[in-house]
């Protein structure tokens, strides 16, 4: 099987250089064109076999098991060589087969009734707030930040993201806002604090719920912001605004119509909604099987061509679609830096295998955004077309206004 | 057949009020809820029969033939009552049948090989420049204008549109720009004049070509702007920028992949493209058969869900999607006003039936944008994601900059 793995690597890696030390002591180097550079040691012949047969799943598992060890570099560098070549169109029949099978089966993998949706959420979001406190910005925004200048700190970029979303929601004091997937409450509390709106935030994670409620109480915003453990399908409106950030990835292709119909049902006729989600630029494909198994069961990053049919049939009008490129690559880079700085504390709370898993996850996702056309889309929606200004300039105007208001106070 | 027509109107019209004088002298009134108000005289019993059997085609034909005459109002008011009710979901099995059939057959109706594409273009765009000079702004922009303030004149709004597009194209002096569907050359000349780019504009209309070339010569821009009678499928690159305004409507659903592959093929790796087209917000539907027969043979206003699969498979990345609502309603209102002001001159050049046809076209289209969720989408595209700024603020910045530069000079 070492021979098959060698064949795959020879086929895939042409850009950059990947040096490999095989379990039997032999060494090989792949690639000669300009590109990133890395070296790894493969310590277990069984891992070599598994990788050759199912690289998308087994490579990450081998790293978690310590069977793959980067030499003089880290897992990001190793993945960079592989991802750069795959993004440039290099492939091997083994990879092509898995990709086609995964795409074909993605609807099955994303069947997310309420009970499974809850288990899926718990899998990742109930890992313990302590972990996320070490990983994220102080407001615990676990989604793509927004870097309009490009050199913002993580905290600045997350605040810019919240204000970018607020601007698109056309907020006024007293409006009723529904947040589908409220995380640890940071966005809901920011909207309430900066715009005087009343927010109902829902989540399927009990740990997020407890933290969000405690934060609302501590800020004295508990009468303005309400958090509930609830599935989006059971929400009753009316709301003037609906916002959903980084939750749509957990909805599943089969449930998109249900999702947008729920948004429409909950909105007043003059209502406006904003959905923020990861997406892929090059059409439908399956979720990476390692990511689906270890990090986001039931999760999916859709192509816009998969989302729009559901929007168009929901009775909602898409009034703006922003495509945020590279912002998530930068966000993940900063999370990865936080993780590295706190690795000892995290390893003490969890274990070494968990740390390897998390590093693989952060590095792989960063590269998907940097090299493979993954992006974040913002879709603004309305029931009637007249309730959003004619030109998009109001977004930047509102951002400037809130920044100067808060700065002045 | 008057009885069937009466039944259809009774079923469809509930909002507003439509009074009808039938050929046999009887009168009827439809609708009682608040809404627009109009009255018409139906002068020909055969027209009543044709309208009952195929309303979407025959209503416009009856108006062209003088068999339908608005009473104390104009055709816009009559259509407003009908369209407002249809947009609110009122329908009749006769209408539903035609709609479903039309949607199913739309790929056939839009089979546009080069030869037919040329005939289709000639049908409408070779009507005589004199007509379009009386209808349009002085720069002869025959596409949706942009009203960021909302109260611009037609000329101001068309200039704002050109500069909005220029900003999204990230222009620098010397860049090579391809314009697919150049009309009478207004955009190409503006880009060359204001940004120092070199433009190749292609059209399938011989009359547009002649006018565009004459304008380039008259402005002394003939060495910087080249116009050709050419099908987009035969263009050879490379170009740094590709722009296409209000031509995509003539491409046809079957040819979207061909279109976006052509754009990609013509672009340099760091290239950027901007496609401006009419679209519909509520999913695929057939082109109105009257519009397809008399105004835009082979034409289609696509849902974004029909466009994005072709984009995603082309190797291009959609980097921004703006949805311009109501701007075309306002543009058409101003064209309609110009038409009315010059009606006598136009009737002298063509004939009364032509004037009725054109009025029906302008009124029907305005209402489609005002009431039925038709819109204009701007899709910015790039081959690589790093060649468009991270945040969209550069668009408004560039618009401000060019306005102050031109104002100062």
Pairwise CA distance, residues A369 & A301, whole Å: 11
List, as own/partner pairs, every contact residues A43-49 make where C-beta atoms lie below 8 angstroms and the sequence separation is at least 24, other chains included.
A43/A67, A43/A68, A43/A69, A45/A1, A45/A2, A48/A1, A48/A2, A48/A5, A48/A22, A48/A23, A49/A1
Q: Does B233 touch chain A (CB under 8 A)?
A: no
Residue B100, pLDDT > 80, answer no
CA distances from B98 to A62, B13, B55, B308 (A): 59, 18, 9, 26
The 10s digit of each residue's pLDDT in B242-286 is: 999 999 999 999 999 999 999 999 999 999 999 999 999 999 988
Q: Write out the two tokens for A102.
A: 């995964």
A285 touches chain B (CB under 8 A): no
User: Mean pLDDT across the stretch A157-168?
Assistant: 98
What is the average pLDDT score of chain A?
93
State how beta strands A27-30 and A15-21 pair.
Answer: antiparallel
CA angle B249–B183–B293, rounded 5-degree value: 45
Q: What is the mean pLDDT of residues B378-399?
A: 96
Please enumerate in sequence order all residues whose Cβ is within 8 A of that of B233, keeping only pairs 6 or more positions apart, or say none. Answer: B114, B258, B262
Give the number of other CB atoms < 10 A from CB of residue A156.
16
Tokens for B333?
């209102």
| Preferred mutation among B103, B317, B318, B368 to probe A, highest tally of A CBs within 10 A | B318
Contacts of B326 in chain A (CB under 8 A): 385-386, 390
Locate the chain A residue with the closest alpha carbon to B321. A321
Report the percent of chain B where pLDDT is more than 70: 97
- To probe the interface with A, which of B386, B391, B395 has the most A CB atoms within 10 Å? B391
Instruction: Find all residues with CB under 8 Å of A361, minimum gap 6, and list them.
Output: A291, A294, A295
Cα A336 from Cα B309, distance rounded (Å): 34
Split at pLDDT 50, 70, 90, the class of B104 is low
Candidate from A320, A325, A396 with C-beta closest to B319: A325
DSSP B35: E
Task: Report chain A residues whose CB lies below 8 A from the CB of B305.
Answer: 305, 308-309, 311-312
Tell me the H-state helices in A13-74.
45-53, 55-64
| Residues 6+ positions from A142 with CB-CB distance below 8 Å | A125, A132, A136, A183, A184, A246
Contact across the interface for B304 and A318, Cβ inside 8 Å: yes
Summarised one tens digit per residue, pLDDT across range A89-121 is: 887 887 776 677 677 666 666 777 888 888 888
Query: Distance (Å) from the C-alpha of residue B352 to the closest C-alpha of chain A?
Result: 36
Which pLDDT score, from 0 to 100, does residue B105 have?
Answer: 67
Tell me how far apart the alpha carbons of residues A74 and A55 are, in angstroms, rounded to a whole number: 19
Q: What is the pTM of this model?
A: 0.95
In this prediction, residue A123 has a pLDDT band, given cuts at 50, 70 and 90, of confident
pLDDT band of residue B82 (cuts 50, 70, 90) is very high
Which range among A167-181, B77-91, B181-195 shows the weakest confidence by mean pLDDT? B77-91
Interface probe for A, chosen from B84, B321, B376, B386 (most Cβ of A below 10 Å), is: B321
Contact A388 B325 (CB under 8 A): yes
Q: Would you state the pLDDT for residue A108?
A: 67
Roughly how many angstroms between the first and final C-alpha of chain A, as a whole number? 66
The residue-averaged pLDDT of B123-134 equals 86
CB A188, CB A169: distance < 8 Å? no
A303 interfacial to chain B (CB closer than 8 Å): yes
What residues of chain A, 384 to 403, have a C-beta less than 8 Å from chain B? 385-386, 388, 390-393, 395-396
State the count of interchain CB pairs (< 8 A) between A and B: 112
Per-residue confidence (pLDDT) for residue A409, from 0 to 100? 66
Q: Tens of pLDDT along B284-315?
A: 988 889 999 999 888 899 999 999 999 999 99
Q: How far is B178 from chain A (nearest CA, A)?
A: 24
- DSSP character at residue A182: -
The C-alpha atoms of residue A28 and residue B188 are separated, in whole angstroms, by: 55
Q: Which helix (H) or strand (E) holds B318?
A: strand B317-324
Task: List residues of A with catalytic annotation.
Answer: 365
- Cross-chain CB nearest to B385 (options A308, A317, A373): A373
Q: So what's the pLDDT on residue B121? A: 80
- Chain A residue with CA closest to B285: the answer is A312
Which residue shows structure tokens 């058969």? B289
Cα–Cα distance, A407 to A39 (Å, whole number): 49
Cβ of residue A305 closer than 8 Å to a chain B Cβ: yes
pLDDT digits 0-9 by tens, B340-352: 999 999 999 999 9
Q: Name the residue of chain B whose CA is nearest to A321's CA.
A: B321
Please indicate whether, in this complex, the C-beta atoms of B326 and A392 are within 8 angstroms of each other: no
Which runs of E-coded beta strand occur in A27-97? 27-30, 33-42, 68-70
Least CB-CB distance to A320: which of B305, B323, B385?
B323
pLDDT of residue B116: 82
Residues A31, A85 contacting (CB under 8 angstroms)? yes
A323 → closest Cβ in B305, B318, B393: B318
How do the residues of chain A divide into helix, strand and coil, expressed in percent and rounded to 5?
50, 20, 30
Any CB–CB contact under 8 A between B214 and chain A? Answer: no
* Stretch B180-199: mean pLDDT: 98
Q: How far is A303 from chain B (nearest CA, A)?
A: 8
DSSP code of B304?
H
From B150, B312, B392, residue closest to A390, measured CB to CB: B150
Q: Provide the shortest C-alpha distance from residue A312 to chain B (in Å).
A: 4
Distance separating alpha carbons of residues B35 and B14, to the nearest angstrom: 9
Asked if B326 and A385 come within 8 Å (Cβ–Cβ), the reply is yes
Q: What is the CA radius of gyration of chain B?
A: 22
The chain B residue lying nearest A391, using CA atoms, is B148
Q: How far apart are CA A368 and CA A365, in angstroms?
A: 5
Distance to chain A for B94, nearest Cα, Å:
22
Place of tokens 């998109």: A256
Instruction: Indicate the SS3 state at residue A396.
Output: helix
Contact between residue B49 and residue B24 where contact means Cβ atoms under 8 Å apart: no
Indicate whether A188 pLDDT > 80: yes
pLDDT, averaged across chain B = 93
d(CA A335, CA A323): 21
Q: Supply the pLDDT for residue A104.
A: 67
∠ CA A94-A83-A3 to the nearest 5 degrees?
40
| Confidence class for position B407, pLDDT limits 50, 70, 90 | confident
Backbone angles phi, psi at A239, to 5 degrees: -125, 150
Are A388 and A320 within 8 A, CB to CB? Answer: yes
Q: Which of B147, B312, B320 sits opposite A322 (nearest CB)?
A: B320
Residue B189 is encoded by which pair of tokens? 């000349």
- Cβ within 8 Å, pair B392-A322: yes
CB of B322 within 8 Å of a chain A CB? The answer is yes
Alpha carbon separation from B229 to A50, B124, B201, B235, B262 (Å, rounded): 59, 16, 9, 11, 17
Q: Which of A330, A390, A396, A399 to mutate against chain B (most B CBs within 10 Å)?
A: A390
Active-site positions of B read: 365
Give how far Cα B392 sits from Cα of A140, A145, B312, B384, Å. 26, 15, 21, 17
Point out which residues pair with B176 in neighbouring strands: B198
Which residues in chain B are closer than 8 Å to A305, comparing Cβ atoms? Answer: 305, 308-309, 311-312
pLDDT at B369 over 90: yes
Sequence-distant (6+) residues with CB within 8 A of B236 are B266
Task: Please give the share of chain A, as a percent, with pLDDT higher than 70.
Answer: 98
Facing residue for A317 by CB, picked from B281, B305, B396: B281
Instruction: List the one residue out of A46, A15, A77, A28 whose CA is nearest residue A69.
Output: A77
Nearest to B312 by CA among B245, B241, B261: B261
Backbone φ/ψ region at B220: left (φ over 0), alpha (ψ -120 to 50), beta = left
CB B88 within 8 A of CB B15: yes
């Amino acid at each position: 099987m070492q021979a098959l793995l060698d064949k795959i690597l020879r086929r895939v890696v042409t850009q950059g250089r990947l040096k490999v030390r095989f379990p039997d002591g032999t060494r090989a180097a792949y690639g000669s064109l300009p590109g990133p550079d890395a070296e790894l040691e493969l310590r277990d012949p069984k891992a070599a076999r598994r990788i050759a047969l199912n690289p998308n799943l087994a490579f990450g598992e081998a790293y978690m098991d310590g069977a793959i060890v980067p030499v003089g570099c880290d897992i990001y560098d190793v993945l960079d060589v592989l991802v750069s070549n795959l993004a440039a169109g290099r492939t091997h029949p083994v990879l092509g087969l898995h990709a086609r099978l995964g795409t074909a089966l993605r609807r099955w993998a994303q069947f997310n009734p309420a009970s499974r949706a809850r288990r899926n959420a718990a899998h990742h979001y109930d890992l313990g707030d302590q972990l996320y406190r070490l990983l994220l910005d102080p407001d615990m925004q676990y989604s793509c930040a927004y870097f309009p200048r490009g050199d913002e700190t993580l905290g600045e970029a997350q605040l810019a993201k919240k204000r970018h979303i607020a601007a698109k929601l056309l907020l006024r004091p007293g409006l009723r806002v529904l947040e589908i997937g409220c995380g640890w409450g940071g966005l809901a509390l920011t909207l309430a604090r900066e715009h005087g709106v009343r927010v109902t935030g829902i989540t399927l994670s009990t740990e997020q719920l407890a933290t969000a409620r405690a934060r609302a109480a501590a800020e004295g915003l508990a009468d303005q912001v309400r958090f509930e453990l609830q599935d989006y399908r059971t929400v009753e409106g009316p709301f003037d605004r609906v916002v959903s950030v980084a939750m749509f990835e957990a909805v599943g292709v089969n449930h998109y119509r249900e999702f947008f119909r729920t948004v429409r049902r909950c909105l007043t006729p003059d209502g406006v909604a904003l959905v923020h989600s990861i997406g892929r630029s090059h059409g439908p494909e399956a979720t990476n099987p390692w990511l689906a198994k270890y990090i986001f069961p039931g999760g999916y990053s859709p192509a816009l061509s998969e989302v729009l049919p559901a929007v168009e049939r929901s009775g909602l009008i898409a009034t703006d679609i922003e495509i945020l490129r590279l912002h998530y690559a930068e966000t993940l880079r900063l999370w990865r830096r936080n993780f590295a700085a706190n690795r000892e504390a995290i390893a003490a709370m969890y274990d070494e295998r968990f740390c390897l898993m998390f590093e693989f996850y952060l590095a792989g996702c960063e590269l998907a955004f940097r090299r493979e056309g993954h992006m974040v889309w913002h879709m603004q929606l309305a029931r009637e077309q007249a309730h959003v200004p004619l030109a998009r300039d109001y977004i930047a105007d509102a951002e400037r206004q809130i920044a100067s208001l808060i700065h002045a106070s």
